[in-house]
């Protein structure tokens, strides 16, 4: 990892062309804690840009929803309240079903498949974001999503009535179809929500659970590998259009390196964080065959619903992904 960090810095230094003309500060709101690998990657990206532009553009990251809450970040960048930001892509699925392409249950359940699905969907995402005055810079997947519970669960019937943390349309719908009660909770509020009983379960990666020390409140993590959602970094298109070509090239180069580093971190972090959950006292392992079968049947329902809402463009993404298999 140290080599990746050095590469980011070296590339930035090479790209720096001249002394700064007029320095700009770009505040970059982020939803997750500073210790999260997405935030760490974003901080290195910010430093790469600051160094690579010779200080003409200084990016300052603001983790843990400290500048804008996660749900408000995209709107803040669209309207120019912040020039750049990071957000969970599927967090916008209520605006357009296409944003939820990466949260179709059991469609892409590995890093390789996640990469293929991203290649299939990226042109549509860039077009959709451009229509909203946003320019995509890079995107990084979370580790595979598993299910967290306070008490042991061996079937969908055991989930009925459990308060479930939701963070996008897919997780809310999953709660409804399993009989759980969805409660919208931002990442920065997870620890408090579990500690106070606002929620007793969630679907998320080992990374989120490890970062928030959920073993203090929860006891079980089931590896169901439901999907690999993505965080993405984006910039206001008006701001981007006012950025010199030289600095755009620097930012694009830093973004490419950040995406590579983020992907690497996500893969390495998967095993590390699951072991961290075990060390914290949680029971970590695969779900029962019965629960897996029931969840996949629910996944079929959710896939059909997503395709209906996403229309021809959504079907084209799924078809392009399957063609790569």
Q: What is the pLDDT of residue 188?
A: 86
Q: Do domains 2-143+230-271 and 146-226+283-323 have the same CATH topology?
A: yes
93-120 pLDDT, tens digit per residue, is 999 999 999 999 999 999 999 999 999 9
- If pLDDT is split at 50, 70 and 90, which confidence band does 22 have? confident
- If pLDDT is split at 50, 70 and 90, which confidence band does 2 have? low
59-69 pLDDT, tens digit per residue, is 999 999 999 99
Give 165's strand partners.
183, 202
The DSSP result for 45-75, as a single string, is: HHHHHHHHTTTSEEEEEE-TTSSS-HHHHHH
Residue 242, class by beta-carbon neighbours within 10 Å (0-12 exposed, 13-18 middle, 19+ buried)?
A: exposed
Task: Given CATH 3.40.190.170, say whether it is the number of domain 2-143+230-271.
Answer: yes
Residue 5: is its pLDDT beyond 90?
Answer: no
Q: What is the pLDDT of residue 20?
A: 44
Q: What's the whole-number mean pLDDT along residues 162-191? A: 94
Residue 214: is its pLDDT beyond 60?
Answer: yes
The superfamily CATH assigns to domain 146-226+283-323 is Bacterial extracellular solute-binding protein, family 7 (3.40.190.170)
- Domain segments of the chain as ranges: 2-143+230-271, 146-226+283-323
What is the arrangement of strands in the sheet containing 84-88, beginning at the earlier edge strand?
84-88, 230-236, 134-141
Residue whose C-alpha is closest to residue 202's, from 179, 213, 218, 188: 218
Separation CA 156–CA 147 (nearest Å): 12
Residue 318: is its pLDDT beyond 50?
Answer: yes
């Amino acid at each position: 990892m140290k080599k990746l960090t050095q590469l980011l810095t070296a590339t930035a230094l090479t790209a720096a062309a001249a002394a700064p003309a007029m320095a700009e500060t770009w505040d970059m709101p982020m939803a997750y804690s500073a210790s999260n690998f997405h935030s760490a990657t974003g901080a290195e990206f910010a430093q790469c840009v600051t160094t690579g532009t010779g200080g003409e553009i200084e990016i300052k990251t603001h983790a843990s929803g400290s500048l804008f809450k996660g749900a408000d970040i995209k709107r803040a960048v669209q309207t120019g309240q912040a020039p750049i930001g990071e957000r969970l892509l599927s967090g916008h699925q209520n605006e357009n079903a296409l944003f939820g392409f990466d949260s179709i249950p059991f469609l892409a359940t590995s890093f390789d498949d996640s990469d293929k699905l991203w290649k299939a969907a990226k042109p549509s995402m860039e077009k959709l974001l451009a229509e909203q005055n946003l320019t995509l810079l890079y995107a990084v997947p979370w580790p595979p999503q598993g299910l967290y519970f306070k008490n042991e669960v061996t079937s969908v019937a055991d989930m009925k009535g459990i308060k479930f943390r939701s963070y996008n349309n897919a997780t809310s719908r999953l709660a409804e179809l399993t009989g759980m009660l969805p409660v919208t909770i931002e990442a920065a509020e997870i620890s408090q929500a579990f500690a106070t009983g606002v929620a007793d379960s969630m679907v998320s990666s080992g990374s989120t659970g490890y970062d928030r020390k959920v073993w203090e409140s929860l006891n079980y993590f089931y590896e169901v590998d439901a999907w690999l959602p993505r965080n993405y970094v984006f910039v206001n298109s008006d701001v981007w259009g006012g950025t010199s070509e030289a600095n755009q090239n620097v930012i694009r180069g830093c973004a490419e390196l950040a995406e590579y580093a983020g992907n690497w971190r996500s893969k390495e972090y998967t095993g590390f964080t699951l072991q961290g959950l075990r060390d914290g006292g949680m029971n970590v392992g695969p779900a029962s065959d019965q629960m897996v079968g029931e969840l996949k049947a629910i996944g079929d329902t959710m896939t059909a619903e997503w395709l209906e809402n996403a229309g021809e463009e959504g079907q084209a993404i799924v078809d392009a992904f399957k063609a790569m298999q």
